[in-house]
Structure 1
Amino acid sequence: MDHKSSKRGFTMLIDTHAHLDDEKFIEDREEVIQRAFDRGVKTIINIGYNKETILSTLELVNRYDFIYGAIGWHPNNAHEMTDQDFLWLEEQLNHPKIVAIGEIGLDYYWDFAPKEIQQQVFRRQIQLAKRKGLPIVIHDRDAHQDVCQIIKEEGVKEIGGIIHSFSGSLEMAMECIEQGFYISFSGPVTFKNAKRPKEVASEIPLERILIETDSPYLTPEPYRGKRNESSYVKFVAEKIAELRGMTFEQIAEITTENARRIFRL
């Protein structure tokens, strides 16, 4: 953590999307979590995306005061979701530390689940989120047009949500913001050749920016290629500060306020 921020009495960052229950953390999970906290990451949203990871996310939120959860059925697992699973998911949403439904959405890059099934499961979970009054966390990979169409048709604006690890155009980002969404940036915004995320991060309204790691994936510079972890979210904040001509402290404060607002923390 940049110690300059502590002079102003502000040292907080929120990692809005992590997978700390991933097997890549099996040997040192506790140390990774402690390191994030010690470096100013005072809240982490862990994501459960199928039955196994929903259960391990619940274990984490029960164990650590500063870890909250978002749970849902990932598009790559959509074909495996049964009606029984759906009812079970609905029950788990009653946990007081579950703050969103996600990650849900569409993934047309991998060919795990047919598009029609992905779309049905996505719509069904949006409707569940509306019933529960929870925001949604969207996974969108090579499916920008269909994601935008579905969130409009399903009236997501009333609950809002987050497009996680945003990879679309500035035009799409503004369209999603119109529908009540926040745009979340991860490691790729720090990559030299990542023109699109940089453009979006530079142009969208500050009150709609979030930061995340998606750890253990999408590791930012200077650790690209290695395992990601929640403490590295500061590199995302630093890059956005640089792009916007602002200080790290300002971006830390703004993104923390934004995360608190959407997750009602």
Structure 2
Amino acid sequence: MFIDSHCHLDFPEFQSRLPEVLANMQEAKVSHALCVSVDLPDFPNVLKLANKHPNLFASVGVHPDYEDTPEPTLEFLVETAAKHSKIVAIGETGLDYYRMGDRSHDSMEWQRERFRTHIRAAIASKKPLIIHTRSASQDTIRILQEEGAQTIGGVMHCFTESYAVAKAAMDMGFFISFSGIVTFKSAKELQETCKQVPLDRMLIETDSPYLAPIPYRGKTNEPAWVANVGQFIAVLKGVPIEELAIQTSRNFYQCFQIDRKST
């Protein structure tokens, strides 16, 4: 059985077809999925999904790309994570300089401060981090190191960086998660990185509704298709698909500190 370690089932794309999406998961042998928070106004919907469905988990946090949104405080993140048993992580958080445009590096300090707040909340609540990094890997690794993120670990989600960045993250106890991007024909460098990441440090995800893997590219992604990501990586790494499914599922439970017997 596969596990989708990162999706957004609370997004509008799924509102009218959630029963179908969950049924598709079951048919594709995707046992669980982690619904990831991106802002505070929509967080209640994420939590509601996790509480309603036994095979769904939730996180709490604010995405670095959401600038005009309520800012999370350390107290809120820690208290919320402690209050709800289905919340297994803090995030997604991190840095995203991709849309910085003509703005200076200094102008993104708000992102870096938000990132630090999430790391401190993760350490205080003993919940792992879900890290988003885009065009900002150097600052991302630096801040993780400065804040002592190695004491809690987590996952570098939807990974698209070099193996050097992956190695720096793994040295701090982080897992590396690959999405449908790794299946794209244009993703040769990422595929080489994927080959180098040990299977026992790897997660798989959809980031749905985005980034549908081949052969569904361009369509609305969904958790069932994490099986396609897993199948591609198994071939890429030359391992049986059953081994990849078992190991990445085991990694999921380890990363998010979930008692497998309770799920």
Could you state the TM-score of these two structures normalised by the residue count of structure 1?
0.91
Q: Are 1:91 and 2:99 counterparts?
A: no
Structure-2 residue corresponding to 1:261: 254
Alignment of 1:116-131 (within 5 A): 116-131=109-124
Structure-2 residue corresponding to 1:42: 31
Cα deviation for residue 111 of structure 1 reads 3.7
Structure-2 residue corresponding to 1:7: none
Cα deviation for residue 70 of structure 1 reads 1.4
Cα-to-partner distance string for 1:5-44 (whole Å, 9 max, x where unaligned)? xxxxxxx111000001110112211210221123211110
Task: Give the stretch that moved more between structures: 211-220 or 198-207.
Answer: 198-207
Equivalent residue for 2:178, pick from 175, 185, 189: 185
Aligned pairs, number: 253
Distance, in Å, in 2 between the alignment partners of 1:78 and 1:247 is: 43
Runs of 5+ in structure 2 lacking a partner? 259-263
Kept after mapping to 2: 8 A contact 1:79/1:117: no
Distance, in Å, in 1 between the alignment partners of 2:13 and 2:68 is: 25
Structure-1 residue corresponding to 2:5: 16
Distance, in Å, in 1 between the alignment partners of 2:254 and 2:161 is: 23
Kept after mapping to 2: 8 A contact 1:79/1:118: no
Q: Are 1:145 and 2:133 counterparts?
A: no
Distance, in Å, in 1 between the alignment partners of 2:19 and 2:39 is: 23
Kept after mapping to 1: 8 A contact 2:137/2:161: yes
Aligned residue for 1:30, secondary structure, equals helix
Task: Give the stretch that moved more between structures: 192-201 or 175-184.
Answer: 192-201
Q: Are 1:74 and 2:63 counterparts?
A: yes
Q: CA RMSD in A?
A: 1.6
Cα-to-partner distance string for 1:102-137 (whole Å, 9 max, x where unaligned)? 100001012499410000010011011101111000
Distance, in Å, in 2 between the alignment partners of 1:232 and 1:124 is: 33
| 1:101 alignment partner AA | I
Equivalent residue for 1:165, pick from 158, 163, 181: 158
Distance, in Å, in 1 between the alignment partners of 2:242 and 2:14 is: 29
Kept after mapping to 2: 8 A contact 1:48/1:55: no
Structure-2 residue corresponding to 1:110: 99
User: In 2 relative to 1, CA 82–210 (structure 1 residues): closer, same or farther, beyond 3 Å?
Assistant: closer
Distance, in Å, in 2 between the alignment partners of 1:37 and 1:51 is: 29
Cα deviation for residue 207 of structure 1 reads 0.8
Structure-2 residue corresponding to 1:3: none
Aligned residue for 2:4, secondary structure, equals strand
Could you state the TM-score of these two structures normalised by the residue count of structure 2?
0.92
Kept after mapping to 1: 8 A contact 2:78/2:124: no
Equivalent residue for 1:154, pick from 147, 150, 175: 147
Kept after mapping to 1: 8 A contact 2:214/2:228: yes
Aligned residue for 2:36, secondary structure, equals strand
Aligned residue for 2:95, secondary structure, equals strand
| 1:236 alignment partner AA | V
